[in-house]
């Protein structure tokens, strides 16, 4: 039906109020499963160090004659390892006018900025900790920065590598990055091998941390001939559910929780390519300076804020953990 002539409509009006919801919606994942899982430990220097040790292998020929004259074994010294504390920041500034005007979704632009940047800083640390970053002592005059060796770089004993890959690990005072190998598909056989090696090394892993795509591949292990099928009771009146996921893996080392970490995917293929087998008791978040808010001196009509923290990944003994490395971590081909 045609519009009646001279109808005054919204397209003609100039005084209609706008409608802007008083809520800001965002779907960016902000959880940090690795940071949340490991314990927190205060450190007091830029180069925290600790010692590792291991017992000798069992001696099945340990028998001696009567009246035996003792021969004394040499004691093997412990191994001194360490990491470096890294400084990370997030900064922003807000004009005095923007802080003062009436805003939708937040009362204070500065407070909102602090909340956002605080979450971003934690997700940065999450990704750095799970990365293959080598440690660095840095150099004076700001030429190079101190860097904390990432979890992937630490793991050298129980690392399953793709073709042409090479282990990193701690040596000569620093953690060196692993060399990436050819990517391959995640399989139950690869996981079982790393669990076996980690268990034999003395680890008690309780968590397998993976990217969402690798978690979806893990779920297909239920179709393996050597995996017991699910048996769940269903009441006639209840909703019928297709079970297409698994949250834990019961293997040689007992029950291992499988935790998908969306930050691994957000950080990209360099981190998503690894499936980490973790003993949470044997890794810690070392804190020299906790996340703090700095207020640089005002030199204009704006509010400046800096969030700063100084921290280090403490891998108490890398043999307690394992990694299935060089996986397709984002898609079946990447």
| Mean pLDDT computed over 55-75 | 92
Question: In this structure, what are the phi and psi dihedrals at residue 115, rounded to the nearest 5 degrees?
Answer: -65, -45
Query: What is the pLDDT, as a whole number, of residue 9?
Result: 81
**Span 301-319, pLDDT tens digits:** 999 999 999 999 999 999 9
Residues contacting 187, CB < 8 A, separation 6+: none
pTM, full prediction: 0.90
Query: What is the pLDDT, as a whole number, of residue 131?
Result: 98
| % of the chain residues with pLDDT over 90 | 77
Answer positive or negative: Cα dihedral of 154, 155, 161, 163: positive
pLDDT category, 237, cuts 50, 70, 90? low
SS3 content of the chain, % helix, strand, coil (to 5): 25, 25, 50
Exposure letters 297-327 (e unless 16+ CB within 10 A, then b) = eeeeeebbbebbbbbbbbbbbbbbbbbbbbb
- Domain assignment present for residue 18? The answer is no
Query: What is the pLDDT, as a whole number, of residue 222?
Result: 75
Residue 68 tokens read as 């035996």
Distance linking the first and last C-alpha atoms of the chain: 56
- Domain assignment present for residue 112? The answer is yes
Q: Which residues pair with 278 in a beta bridge?
A: 207
| Nearest in space to 129 (alpha carbons), one of 168, 79, 160, 86 | 86
Q: Which residues pair with 292 in a beta bridge?
A: 308
Cα 260 from chain centroid?
10
How far apart are the C-alpha atoms of 216 and 44, rounded to whole Å? 41
Residue 132 tokens read as 């293959």
- Domain assignment present for residue 236? The answer is no
Residues in the chain: 334
Cα 266 from chain centroid?
11
Query: What is the pLDDT, as a whole number, of residue 15?
Result: 80
How far apart are the C-alpha atoms of 236 and 2, rounded to whole Å? 56
**Span 130-160, pLDDT tens digits:** 999 999 999 988 889 999 999 999 999 999 9
* 266 CB-side CA count, 13 A: 17
Burial class (CB in 10 A: 0-12, 13-18, 19+), 42: exposed
How far apart are the C-alpha atoms of 267 and 270, rounded to whole Å? 8
> Which of 6-15, 67-76, 106-115, 221-230 comes out lowest in average pLDDT?
221-230
**Span 19-44, pLDDT tens digits:** 777 666 776 788 999 999 999 999 99
- Domain assignment present for residue 61? The answer is no
- Domain assignment present for residue 162? The answer is yes
Residues contacting 315, CB < 8 A, separation 6+: 83, 149, 151, 154, 282, 283, 321
Other CB atoms within 10 Å distance of the CB of residue 93: 14
pLDDT at 242 over 80: no
Query: What is the pLDDT, as a whole number, of residue 232?
Result: 67
Residue 309's domain spans which residues?
Answer: 33-51+79-230+243-324
3-state secondary structure of 166: strand
- Domain assignment present for residue 264? The answer is yes
Query: What is the pLDDT, as a whole number, of residue 246?
Result: 80
- Domain assignment present for residue 149? The answer is yes
| Nearest in space to 279 (alpha carbons), one of 214, 194, 220 | 194
Residue 85 tokens read as 């504390």
The total number of structural domains in the chain stands at 1
How far apart are the C-alpha atoms of 282 and 321, rounded to whole Å? 8
**Span 254-275, pLDDT tens digits:** 999 999 999 999 999 999 999 9
| Mean pLDDT computed over 108-112 | 92
Residue by residue, DSSP assigns 167-198 as --EEETTEEEPPBP---B---HHHHHHHHHHH
Q: Could you tell me the CATH number of the domain that includes residue 143?
A: 3.90.1690
| % of the chain residues with pLDDT over 70 | 94
Element (DSSP H or E) covering residue 278: strand 275-278
How far apart are the C-alpha atoms of 113 and 92, rounded to whole Å? 7
Residue by residue, DSSP assigns 8-38 as --TTT-S-PPP---S----------HHHHHS
What average pLDDT does the chain have? 91
- Domain assignment present for residue 6? The answer is no
């Amino acid at each position: 039906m045609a519009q009646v002539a001279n109808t005054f409509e919204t397209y003609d009006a100039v005084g209609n109020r706008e409608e802007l919801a008083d809520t800001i919606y965002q779907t960016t994942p902000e959880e940090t499963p690795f940071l949340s899982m490991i314990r927190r430990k205060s450190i007091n220097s830029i180069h925290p160090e600790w010692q590792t040790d291991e017992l000798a292998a069992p001696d099945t020929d340990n028998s001696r004659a009567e009246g035996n004259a003792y021969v004394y074994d040499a004691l093997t010294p412990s191994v001194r390892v360490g990491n470096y504390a890294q400084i990370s920041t997030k900064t922003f500034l807000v004009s005095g006018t923007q802080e003062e005007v009436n805003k939708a979704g937040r009362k204070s632009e500065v407070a909102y900025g602090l909340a956002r940047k605080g979450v971003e800083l934690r997700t940065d640390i999450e990704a750095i900790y799970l990365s293959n970053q080598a440690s660095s002592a840095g150099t004076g005059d700001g030429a190079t920065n101190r860097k904390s060796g990432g979890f992937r770089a630490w793991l050298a004993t129980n690392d399953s590598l793709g073709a042409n890959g090479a282990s990193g690990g701690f040596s000569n005072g620093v953690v060196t990055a692993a060399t990436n190998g050819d990517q391959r598909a995640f399989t139950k056989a690869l996981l079982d091998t790393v669990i076996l090696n980690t268990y034999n090394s003395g680890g008690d892993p309780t968590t397998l941390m993976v990217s969402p795509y690798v978690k979806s591949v893990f779920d297909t292990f239920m179709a393996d001939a050597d995996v017991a099928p699910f048996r769940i009771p269903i009441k006639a009146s209840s909703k019928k559910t297709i079970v297409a996921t698994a949250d834990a893996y019961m293997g040689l080392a007992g029950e291992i929780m499988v935790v998908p970490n969306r930050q691994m995917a957000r950080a990209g293929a360099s981190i998503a390519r690894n499936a980490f087998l973790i003993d949470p008791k044997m890794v810690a978040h070392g804190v020299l300076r906790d996340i703090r808010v700095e207020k640089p001196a005002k030199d204009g009509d704006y509010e400046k804020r800096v969030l700063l923290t100084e921290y280090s990944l403490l891998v108490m003994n890398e043999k307690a953990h394992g990694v299935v490395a060089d996986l397709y971590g984002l898609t079946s081909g990447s």
